[in-house]
Amino acid sequence: MILKRNVKLFFVIIIVTLLIDQISKLLIVNFLTPFDPPANVIGSFLRFKLTYNPYGVFSISFGPNILYYIFSIIGIFILTYVGLSLKDRTSVIVFSIIIGGALGNIFDRVRLDYVIDFIDMGIGNLRWFTYNFADACITVGAIFLLSRELFCKKKKTSETS
């Protein structure tokens, strides 16, 4: 059952997340080119380097491009239903951030046929995959939900024992 009190908050956060993602990508594309050396933000630990990712998460190919759309759209519908059905406002916020991030990457794919990535983190030659604000929202949201699920279940189980 969808709770009407969560609808406004849910969609406002989705729109804000989507706007931040798209504006950050627009700014990066206007200031960097894919052939520029990385721009240091916090030394070499955090830097900006423009890349175009035609593949999926972590630049891994999952097959034909249509799969990226199908998986994303199915995921968005499921997360929207679940997010709007929750009573807990924190969960509603987290689900909306994840959906906003997914929509940001879908907009890139529809508009450009690839995703704009630019955040490059690491130490020396040990670097994480280049990502964007949308990817960060999806990842942080998923980690939050998983960790809360693991730790809250253990806490509830130990309280009932």
Rounded distance, CA 55 to CA 147, Å?
A: 27
Our answer to whether residue 120 is catalytic in this structure is no
Of 21, 108, 117, 120, the active-site residue reads 117
Our answer to whether residue 135 is catalytic in this structure is yes
Distances, alpha carbon 149 to alpha carbons 123, 143, 152, in Å: 31, 10, 5
Q: Which tokens belong to 16?
A: 């804000």
Element (H, E) at 121: strand 115-123
Of 21, 108, 120, 135, the active-site residue reads 135
DSSP SS3 for 47:
strand
Q: Which tokens belong to 130?
A: 């280049």
Active site residues: 117, 135
